[in-house]
Structures are given as structure tokens and as C-alpha cells.
Structure 1
Amino acid sequence: MPNIASILKAEISRVARKEVRAEIETLKKASVAHRASIAELRRQVSALEKELQRAAKTAARPATVDASDNETDTDTGTKRRFSATRLAAHRAKLGLSAAHYGHLVGVSGQTIYHWEQGKARPRAAQLESLAAVRSLSKKQVAERLVF
């Protein structure tokens, strides 16, 4: 006949393992849930950082353009603005090709196309040239284009 103490010890040990296993299962489930939420938060932080970098880049671009426009302020006393649609409309009004209009401004025809499409912006000196061309009449433009 086995010793009652050893049977009691074995039974207590079995019940303790059963209780510990139940507690560990609950902790494992909580741990998995926490890890999943941590991973989701990391993804959100990464996406927000990328968005912040994009926003910083776009905010930096107009600031550099404004700085070049401010140089015009100190040189001539007036601030020059640029609009791609107004440039295209003025060129169409004069009936000029981009190459001819570029000749008047002192740039290539391809540069005029890029300005009109918004792919590039004129520098401060070029803005002054554009303003000078805008002040010319159709007759004066024709006189200047005679080669």
C-alpha cells in the first residue's frame, strides 16, 4: 500500500499544475493581444512619420520659392508673382510659339513649356523678364522677334 503522504503530495502537485496552466493560458492570450496592438501602433507611427516627412518637404518647397521672391522685393521694390495658366494665356493671346516666347524672355521653348505645365518655376531674374514681356504690346513683340 502506497504511502498516503506521497499520494497527497502527487495530488496537490497535479492540481497546482492544472491551476498554473489555466493562469498561464490567460496570460498568453493577453500577451498575444498586447503584441498585436503594439505592432499596429508601430505601423501607425511609421505611417505618420512618413506623412510628416512628406508634409515637411512640401512645406519647405514654397519657403524656398518665397525666399527667391523676396530677393525681388529688395531689388525692385515690387514682388513678382507667377501663374502658369496666365503665362499660357498670354502666350496664346500673342499667338506665339513657346520657342518665340522663350526668345523674348531669354529662355528656351522647353523651359516655357515646363513653366506652363507647372513642372518648374522661373527664378527672380526670369520673373522680371516675364514682367517686361507682359508689358509689351503685340506690335512691340513683333518688332522684337524680327531676326
Structure 2
Amino acid sequence: MTTFASSLKKEIARVARKELREELDALRKASASHRSEIAALKRQVRELQVALRQTSRRADKALHTVAPDAPAEAPQRGRRAVFSAERLKAQRERLGLTQKEMAAYLGTSTLSVWKWETGQVTPRARFLPAILALRSQGKREVLRQLASSGGGAAG
């Protein structure tokens, strides 16, 4: 009976190898297709990152240029003015304005001012001259302008 048992074991092993070979081939094919898809996705992500960097650079350049309808000023020498969320908030607090009053002064919404201050978004180019002009203005001057335009500032 030992020859029968060993023959049976050998036959079972042979059939099992045959079955596994077919399934492994299918898995290998699937794995190869997944690897090629992953490689294609990685290439696509790299291309999108490059495009994002280029777009970001273009947006930064556009952000730092003065709006065409802004009053012409003498060309400035030295460092270029850059928007900063922290500086905007500090400037608003220095002037003693609420976000609502700041929005009225700049001609935008309160939500925009909040988003600018939290750094979620940067202001459009048309708002930058007014924001940068705030640096040179005092609290009384800003409150006077708000009161004359009906901005509702208590002064």
C-alpha cells in the first residue's frame, strides 16, 4: 500500500502544481499591467507637478505686478513688495479695524479678507496696490476715509 500512497501523493502534487501555474500566470500578467499603470501615473504626476510649478511662477509674477488702472508711481528701487497674510492681519490690527471695516475700505467682502489673513488665498492683483498703500497710512486717515465713503467705522 505504500506505493499506492506515494503515487497518490505525487499525482496530487502534480495536479496542484498545474493548477497553481495557471493562477500564477494570471497573477503575473495582472501584476505587470498594474506596474505599467503605476509607472504611467507617476509620469503623469511628474508632468502635472511641473505644470503646477510653472503656473505658480506665472501667478506669482502676475501677483507682484501693479494693476494697469493703478495710479502711476515712481519706479521703486530695492526690494519688491510681496503680500503676506501675517502682515495684512498685523496691519489691520495696527489700524484698529475689524475685518468688515477692512473689507469696506478695500472694496471686497469680509470673507475675502478673512481668507487673505488665514493664508488660504492671496488677493488678486487689483487689490494689491490698496493693501500696500495701507502700510503708509495712519489709523485716523483710514477711519476718515471709511467714514467719508460710508464704511461704518466708528472713530
**Number of aligned positions between the proteins:** 125
Q: What does residue 56 of structure 2 align with?
A: 62
Of Structure 1 and Structure 2, the greater helix share is in 1
Q: What does residue 123 of structure 1 align with?
A: 124
Q: Which letter does structure 2 place at the counterpart of 1:39?
A: S
From 32, 35, 42, the equivalent of 2:29 is 35
Deviation at 1:87, TM superposition (A): 0.9
Deviation at 1:136, TM superposition (A): 0.6
Output the CA distance in 1 between the equivalents of 2:113 and 2:37. 43
Q: Which runs of 5+ in 2 are unaligned?
A: 1-17, 149-155
CA shift in 2, pair 1:82/1:89, >3 Å? same
CA shift in 2, pair 1:53/1:116, >3 Å? farther
Output the CA distance in 2 between the equivalents of 1:136 and 1:84. 18
Identity of aligned residues (%): 23
Q: How does 1:92-111 map to 2 (within 5 A)?
A: 92-111=93-112
Deviation at 1:33, TM superposition (A): 7.3
Q: Which runs of 5+ in 1 are unaligned?
A: 1-24
Deviation at 1:118, TM superposition (A): 2.5
Maintained 8 Å contact 1:99/1:108: yes
Output the CA distance in 2 between the equivalents of 1:67 and 1:81. 10
**Structure whose CA Rg is larger:** 1
CA shift in 2, pair 1:45/1:63, >3 Å? same
Output the CA distance in 2 between the equivalents of 1:113 and 1:73. 22
Q: TM-score, normalised by structure 1?
A: 0.63
Higher relative contact order (CA 8 A, sep 6+): 2
Supply the RMSD in Å over aligned alpha carbons: 3.4
Output the CA distance in 2 between the equivalents of 1:113 and 1:32. 56
Deviations 1:11-42 (A, max 9, x none): xxxxxxxxxxxxxx7x9799567535523422
**What is the DSSP-based 3-state SS (H/G/I as helix, E as strand, rest coil) of the residue aligned with 1:146?**
helix
Output the CA distance in 1 between the equivalents of 2:147 and 2:34. 68
Q: How does 1:8-87 map to 2 (within 5 A)?
A: 35-69=29-63, 71-72=65-66, 76=73, 77-78=75-76, 79-87=80-88
Output the CA distance in 2 between the equivalents of 1:89 and 1:135. 14
Maintained 8 Å contact 1:69/1:80: no
Maintained 8 Å contact 2:103/2:113: yes
Q: What does residue 89 of structure 1 align with?
A: 90
